[in-house]
A and B are shown apart, each in its own frame.
Chain A
Amino acid sequence: MKRIAARVLPHIILCAFSLLILMPLLWILRVSFTDRLTAYKIPPEIGTVGLMNYVEIFARYPFTGWFLNSLIIALGATAIALPLATALAYAFARFNTGGTFLRLGVLASQMLPPIILVLPLFGMFLFAGLMQSHVGLIIAHLTISLPFLSWMLVSFFEGDVARLEEAARVDGATRWQAFRYIAVPVAAPGILAAGLLGFILSWNEFLFALVLSGPSSQTLPVGLAALETHAGVEIAPLAAATVVSLVPVFALLPFLRKHLIKGLSLGALK
């Protein structure tokens, strides 16, 4: 009896926990397919079911624009940060460039609350005419993705790959060739996964986008936050917009499962 209880208890707790996580998500999915009046009904009713909310967010709100802005800015920041961070991470792993001090600096940059950076960036962008521009937002997002990627990629260059490089060096490869043609290809899957995580960080960023973007460069989170205020609480279209903006993130999830722990623990755990 006691043994059966010990085997069932974890599943009871895990099921209850999973339901608490899953129910809100399923509820949003359900609301996104109901018409706007049914969405408000308490107790809940099954009204007409259809795709009208998905059509509406694209037809009535500048949803496409927000989506594209988010995409351009996240892709831009990641594309710039990834190669630079790869080189810095390699320098850290192989030559211990700058020692503990520089590593601590990069970790600290990553931990910096965005509110501390957004004030000076606001002032600097006003001065440089970068307010409300895509370029400005890409620069702002670099403050998040560059330290994150540099820190995370270090561990991909530690371990066996160093031995391969050594063999190539003996055969006459230069330092640069060993980096470019051995280390980077070997670490490529990890670099790619890190890039996806960097993309998601940028995709989800809110404060920089809120302060530094303008009507033509508004990102998805800023648009959604505004949608809620200027149209009252239109919960049916909002649910549809929520579902659409979650699609890219969930689509990427299977590709980065393996490296997620490393990313979340800032490389401390594998």
Chain B
Amino acid sequence: MTLAADDRRLNDLPRAEQTAVERRDRMFGWLIASPSLGLLFLVILFPVFWALYTSVHDYTLIAPNFDTFNGIDNYTKALGDPEFRHTLWLTAFFVAAVVLLEFALGFLVALMLNSVERFKAIYYAILLCPLLMNPVIVGLIWRMFLHPSLGIVNYLLSLVGIDPVNWLGSTKVALWTIVMVDIWHQVSFMIVLLLAGLSALPREPYEAARVDGASALRSFWHITVPLMLPVIAVTLLIRLIFAVKTYDLVYIMTRGGPGVATDLVSYFIYRTAFVGLNIGEASAMSAILLAVIMGLTVWLHRYMRSLT
């Protein structure tokens, strides 16, 4: 992104000097970028290549060496494993549930916040609280609240005549419990970003619509939604990518259980590596996850560029 002022100055110079200045600027850019890039290479790119290299070897924590090359064996084994396939479906379901529910609730709250003046600062301060909280702490406190006999949630439900629910111990309920806790923790992410988008919308289309006698619902569908689409797309995609990484809540609240009811992909890979001791196969699963995340990131990057 060369600067307008830069270009003007450059245009006054003769051609040869122009390219010399440009080249010096480019050199300077690479020079100050290099320490960061070097470190990123060491701590991210190199480990990713290490993982890819491991994924085509028979590397276990019992025999941690690269002696046996086994091609795509780890990949075929992983993809043929019904547990891994279950884990992928479960993660897709979990991600879809949290993203859609958090978006629906978040958009509603953001619209309400955008429509009020009084107490807005107070509401906003409150909803920021969970956002910066440690997921480990969120998991721990909700585990306390949701304890079948000692938890406050079941007690409150009993006051209105609802039987105790086994929130984390029942295969039918556990995943939805994690979804609910994740909503409590992360819905504010949606609210904050959607509200930022809403408050930046232009006023004129709404005034024109009011003059034409359009109802609030009509101006929502025909003005707010279309204008908000880029912001919504970016918000949903960022949240989606982060939801795929969900690990802490599952580790703290259920350890993937009961059975495999909440065995999200990050936790499953962790188990394969550090309980099953099979780093090679875990790396192959990582590589599959990596491909999915990279695809989503390229998509996100495109939307982000259209926004700015």
Contact = CB atoms under 8 A, between A and B. Distances in A.
Interface in B112-147: 112-113, 115-116, 118-119, 122-123, 126-137, 140-145, 147
Given A108-B294, A113-B289, A166-B3, 10 more contacts: A43-B155, A93-B1, A103-B301, A109-B40, A111-B300, A120-B51, A143-B43, A162-B3, A228-B140, A264-B193
Nearest to B116: A10
Contacts of A158: 1
B128 A253 contact: yes
A121 B112 contact: no
A242 B140 contact: yes
8 contacts: A87-B35, A95-B25, A116-B293, A119-B54, A120-B50, A235-B144, A260-B192, A268-B234
Interface residues of B, number: 102
Interface of B is mostly: helix
B278 to A, nearest CB: 11
Contacts of A11: 116, 118-119
Contacts of A228: 140, 143, 252
Q: Which 10 residue pairs are nearest across A and B when measured between Cβ atoms? A: A95-B29, A120-B47, A88-B36, A97-B29, A91-B33, A120-B50, A10-B112, A221-B136, A87-B32, A91-B29
A224 B137 contact: yes
Residue among B9, B40, B129, B301 with the most chain A CB within 10 A? B40
A85 to B, nearest CB: 6
B248 A108 contact: no
Given A117-B47, A253-B132, A269-B193, A97 B33 contact: yes
A201 to B, nearest CB: 10
B29 to A, nearest CB: 3
A188 interface: no
B26 A97 contact: yes
Contacts, number: 286
A73 to B, nearest CB: 14
Interface of B: 1-3, 5-6, 9, 24-26, 28-30, 32-33, 35-37, 39-40, 43-44, 46-48, 50-51, 54, 64, 108-109, 112-113, 115-116, 118-119, 122-123, 126-137, 140-145, 147, 149-152, 155, 184, 188-189, 192-193, 196-197, 200, 231, 234-235, 238, 241, 244-245, 247-248, 251-252, 266, 269-270, 273-274, 279, 282-283, 286, 289-290, 293-294, 296-298, 300-301, 304, 307-308
